[in-house]
Structure 1
Amino acid sequence: MNKKISFGKISANFSQNSEKVEATGTFGTFGPPKAIQSLEDDAESQQLKNVMGISAFGKKAKSFDIKEMIAQVKATAREITKKPEESVETAEESNEESDDEDFVGPPVPDHLLPSNVEKPNSNEKKVESDASDEEAEETVDNNLFIPCTHETQMIHGTKAVTALCLDPSGARLASGSVDYDVSFWDFAGMDSSMRSFRTLQPADNHPIRGLHYSSTGDLLLVISGATQAKVIDRDGFEKLETVKGDMYITDQAKTKGHTAGLLAGTWNPITKEEFLTTSADGTVRTWDFYEGGKQHKQIIKCRAQNGLKVSPNAVNYNREGKVIACGCADGSIQLWDFRKSSVAPAKQIRKAHSPAEITSICFSHIGDNLLTRSCDGTMKLWDIRNFKQSINEVGDLYTRYDTTDAIFSPNDEVVATALSLEKGQKNGVVLFYETKSFNLIRKMQITNSHTIKIAWHPKLNQIFVGTGNGLIKCYYDERRSLRGATLCVVKHHRKAQQSEVVSSQQIITPHALPLFRQERRKTSRKQIEKDRLDPVKSKRPDLPITSGQGGRVASSGGTLSSYVIRNLGLSKRVEDDQDPREAILKYAKEAEENPYWITPAYKNTQPKPTYAENDDDEPEEKKSRTE
């Protein structure tokens, strides 16, 4: 049977008709030659074309073999596995060849063609270039990323926050101020109200100049205006206090501790038990925690160019904990290496800044860069391998606090510094610069006061800023910041639940017996007054006792002197308004019957006692002198 099947119905006689297949001018058919086709099939196809309104599909179809089709499919599969460039060239050649020849059916839609075979036009090239530009911008943004999409604030007090530090894990924040207080903030335990869980005054009436967590996060070094540094634990309990030096000894190396107020300090990043402190006496002293702070471990004497002592206002360890960098009050930078000598600095720059206090000195996380900030309004970047001239410098940075910060970002691509308000300015800002060129990236508005301290934690990826009005601003990014303040802002503050008082219903029984009758209270005020007199309901505390029974001490005390006064003096006390003669004579009868003291003594000389007689005659008044 050689009947033609059209529109997807394929004949089963592939063996007889596989050599040559001829298609009609409509959609193409598989079957015997045109001469053998029946009129019914032509009528059926014509009727279908009339119903669909189709006259013809494309150009005239050409003859093709199934073997050629299979070979073409294999070639297409090979092209797909080729590289994109080779496939594009092959597609161009095939398109040029196919343009010259006729094709069967309508053209294939563009969105159905394989993407690796398409020929890219000018518009596609433009889209690809735009995508590459966006990727480059994202790369730049990732390097210079600053988490500042969201912000929250914590209230330390009303005065300037001059010390700020986070522990290495990022779980707690410690803040200090000129109001002598140190506050502890626990991010896991806070809610959206952002309240500190503990506030204390570790240095009595001395302002807090610096707070530094140890490398393990279990100890906190407190640098105050006093001469003695303190080390406290995470909960605020004192663990160590350094000894005070003798201020009358001229040679500072002969004293065991500082003799003037502290200026700065920090922990060794490698040796967890070692920390150092600087003082206005011109020395830097290192201490060992396990020695109890009884004597310094090593001492450095900072000298100015004229040979006199100079105060190291800022100090820091390098990342290996082997080099100490000191920023002095005369604007000089001195690097000390204990492995070489503690008498003279390993490197120094006398005129690194103008003769003004260096407020901050910081090593980069990776590399040999050193960042300094000074009260002369400049911030400079140095390379300690070529320590003669600064790499980059920026000026016009006003500051009035000698603890103003300048820090590196966690990836060392950005540096940030705080700025104080000048006359006429209203908003304090933090400036962010690119490390390589010192180009200003962002100027972040903080609050209507000075900005002093900055902390950028690498694990949290959050920025904390201490201001002059007692606020601590926290900036973070919702997608790239972890834990820290993000844990607190989502917790709603729960108000204290008021005690619910359930009034008991009173059953009124007017004809009850007096034993079971309950008093009916008219007003709640009378009931409250009645409960006030009841010691059980009012929860009255124990009254003061007048005796010492039951192991409790009486109000007069429990010492020997109080016992003597109570038992001897007060028990036989003589009233002041009583006549002493009457007080003696009331024992006359008892003394006469049982003589013990006086009578036996006068028994021989005066057997009968003789008393002075009472003379009622008063002495004559003194006559006034008459002239």
Structure 2
Amino acid sequence: MEDSAPKKNADKKARVFDLQSMMAQALSNAPKAPDAEPSPQFNTPSKTTSESGLSSSAASDDDDDFMPVLPPGFGKPDDEAGPSTFQAIDNDNDDSDFDETEAVSIIKLIPAACEATIIHGTQAISALRVEPPGVRFASGGLDYYVKLYDFQKMDMSLRYDKELLPAESHVINSLAFSPNGETLVVASGEAIIRLLDRAGKQWSETVRGDQYIVDLNITKGHTATVNCVEFNPLNKSEFISCSDDGSLRIWSLDDHKVITKCINKHRKVIKTKGAHGKRVSPQVCTYSPDGKWIAAGCDDGSIQAWKYGSQYVNVNYLVRKAHNGSITSIAFSPDSKRLLSRGFDDTLKMWSLDNPKQPMLVKTGLENAFKNTDCGFSPRAELVFTGTSSPNKNVPGSLQFFDPMTFDLVYKIDYPGASCHRIQWHPRLNQIIVGLSNGTVHVYYDQTISQRGVMTCVTRPLKRNRASEVVREDMVLSPLTLEMFQPRGEEGEEKEVTGWRIKKFLRMQDNKLRPEFRKPADMPINGKSANGRVAASGGSLHSYLAKQIGTARNAEFLKDTDVRASILKHAKDAEENPLYIDKAYRKTQPNKIFQATTVEPEDEDDEELQPVFKMPRTK
């Protein structure tokens, strides 16, 4: 280096750094790789077998994409990459050992620790649905009634909030809430679908189709009983319905007309056909959770599905002989890759959308006597459930849960003397609502894994009517001391305020209106007519002459003011020259004979007043 003797500022030079020499010195002083401390390791969440199958090279490639190259000593040695891969496989083996005891703990996923019973009526429950937010649920029965239950208003009595009769004397077949819970769609035995608001009032309906038109595409609505309705899970204004007329129709709430209060036409029509091209009636219909499929179960035992948004002409998924009888329910799995079906042949089947030729699993011996017996998956597809009917008093109906991989029975709830056919497992509340054939609704919940819902109702005390809350009208003994009878300086108020105000109060009580204002006299007419009124006589020469002639002829008659005198003036002339009755009796009865008594006496019978009857003819 240069000499560091003190120099003048003008002679000083800037310091020069040799970067290459400094880098070489830093590398020589750096610790060797074997002596470096290992970098800290973080435990990641356990992965499934498919995720653990990723190669270590792929992981290293991902690291290279997001991180620069580390200096020596900060990377993982190559000899440690192999043991970590085997360790992940060992962890997977440990998971397989855990699967052996999984059957014991899977029962804990069923929220059936507690039960609440709600009475709908005496007839069977034919429709049951919980709104997506989980605040309310609705039940419909064979008694034509729809009852709305609000968890926020119910107390320990578990009484319904509203009782509706939307379709008069038609059985309720299906109910559906919109995704936001604002609209309730009611499908009944008639061809019209009713739309109700949160208050239970009907605000719209679908049009009834013309039953004499053969082509279903031309008819604007259903022409027969509506069996099922379902809302699109991704579109709050769209729902689908199926009917015995052999069609599925897609409707939109945006087509509602305010003037007619009706949805005048459907958006799309889907026809269901049998093996020979004939019409078959769809009994159930549903959307897939991802909204990409529309499926229907028909009365000939076939399952037909279409991709959403297509032309709906050709079927994209068809199982012609899925069941030997009519299909009562179909349900998609949460991943929209499997389909569950329930039929009148007492079977439960699971299908794959990739293979329609044969079912994945089949469960037999499940009694089914109702056309709307439900089946479905648990919210996370850990279980499969369905209901069974009670053929006689000795065999009870039941709610059964199965393993979705093997269809082995996991849990069962019996109902002696009743059939279980309507089931709803709400994912947000994690509560199971079951409708039975005896008109009762059972709600199952678990205080550890369930939320809100009926749990808030069973602990809420009953509402009691208090005496202070009753409105009653007391007798007023001294009305003159009331505030309404005190002077207020009103217009027209008399000196004796009390009497004046009492009369006013009585008029108000009797609903007596004040006398109407008298209409002022009409203004004189200058011309022939004005404001619909004709001018008086004399406005023209003809009317003037007619008035003068009439007045001259009847001058004497107009002068007479005594009516009696004017009549007696003609009495003598009438007696001498009779015109009517007297002329006939002048020769036969010149002397007039009048009746002596005109009123019947009270005690004595007057024979003269008795009517003279004709003698009956003898021949």
Q: How far has the Cα of 1:592 moved from its partner?
A: 5.1
- Is residue 2:513 matched to residue 1:550? yes
SS in structure 2 at match of 1:295: coil
Q: 1:334 aligns with which of 304, 312, 316?
A: 304
Q: 2:424 aligns with which of 455, 464, 488?
A: 455
Q: How far has the Cα of 1:430 moved from its partner?
A: 0.4
Structure 1 partner of 2:343 = 374
SS in structure 2 at match of 1:210: strand
Change (3 A) 1:619 1:237: closer
The alignment of Structure 1 onto Structure 2 pairs a total of residues equal to 420
Structure 1 partner of 2:176 = 212
Structure 1 partner of 2:453 = 484
Instruction: Tell me if structure 1 keeps the 8 A contact 2:107–2:410.
Output: no
RMSD: 3.8
1-structure distance, mates of 2:217, 2:361: 37
Instruction: Tell me if structure 2 keeps the 8 A contact 1:361–1:372.
Output: yes
Q: 2:254 aligns with which of 277, 283, 290?
A: 290
Q: 1:470 aligns with which of 431, 439, 442?
A: 439
Q: How far has the Cα of 1:493 moved from its partner?
A: 2.0
Change (3 A) 1:248 1:195: same
1-structure distance, mates of 2:338, 2:305: 13
Change (3 A) 1:135 1:482: farther
Structure 2 partner of 1:265 = 229
1-structure distance, mates of 2:239, 2:469: 54
AA of the residue aligned to 1:219: T
Q: 2:193 aligns with which of 229, 237, 240?
A: 229
Change (3 A) 1:551 1:162: farther
2-structure distance, mates of 1:591, 1:390: 111
- Is residue 2:267 matched to residue 1:303? no
Q: How does 1:41-440 map to 2 (within 5 A)?
A: 137=101, 141-142=105-106, 145-292=109-256, 293-354=263-324, 356-440=325-409
2-structure distance, mates of 1:448, 1:480: 30
Instruction: Tell me if structure 1 keeps the 8 A contact 2:229–2:285.
Output: yes
SS in structure 2 at match of 1:489: coil
Moved more, 610-619 or 363-372: 610-619
1-structure distance, mates of 2:385, 2:217: 37
- 5+ residue gaps, structure 2, are 1-39, 41-93, 257-262, 471-504, 516-561, 586-591, 596-607
Q: How far has the Cα of 1:202 moved from its partner?
A: 0.8
AA of the residue aligned to 1:273: S
1-structure distance, mates of 2:96, 2:267: 58
Instruction: Tell me if structure 1 keeps the 8 A contact 2:347–2:366.
Output: yes
1-structure distance, mates of 2:238, 2:221: 15
Change (3 A) 1:386 1:235: same
2-structure distance, mates of 1:302, 1:135: 43
Change (3 A) 1:340 1:134: closer
Instruction: Tell me if structure 1 keeps the 8 A contact 2:288–2:336.
Output: no
Change (3 A) 1:548 1:218: closer
The one-character-per-residue Cα deviations of 1:491-535 (angstroms, maximum 9, x if unpaired) are 12244345799xxxxxxxxxxxxxxxxxxxxxxxxxxxxxxxxxx
Change (3 A) 1:439 1:287: same
2-structure distance, mates of 1:319, 1:500: 49
Query: Identity percentage over the alignment?
Result: 36
Instruction: Tell me if structure 2 keeps the 8 A contact 1:144–1:434.
Output: no
2-structure distance, mates of 1:614, 1:256: 87
The one-character-per-residue Cα deviations of 1:579-624 (angstroms, maximum 9, x if unpaired) are xxxxxxxxxxx975566xxx99x99x97777568779899894574
1-structure distance, mates of 2:110, 2:443: 12
The one-character-per-residue Cα deviations of 1:195-240 (angstroms, maximum 9, x if unpaired) are 1111111111111111111111111111111110011112201121
2-structure distance, mates of 1:135, 1:308: 49
Change (3 A) 1:447 1:239: farther
2-structure distance, mates of 1:144, 1:421: 27
AA of the residue aligned to 1:420: S
AA of the residue aligned to 1:298: K
2-structure distance, mates of 1:131, 1:308: 52
2-structure distance, mates of 1:161, 1:500: 37
**TM-score when normalising by structure 1:** 0.61
Instruction: Tell me if structure 1 keeps the 8 A contact 2:392–2:417.
Output: no
SS in structure 2 at match of 1:141: helix
Q: How far has the Cα of 1:271 moved from its partner?
A: 1.6
Moved more, 324-333 or 607-616: 607-616
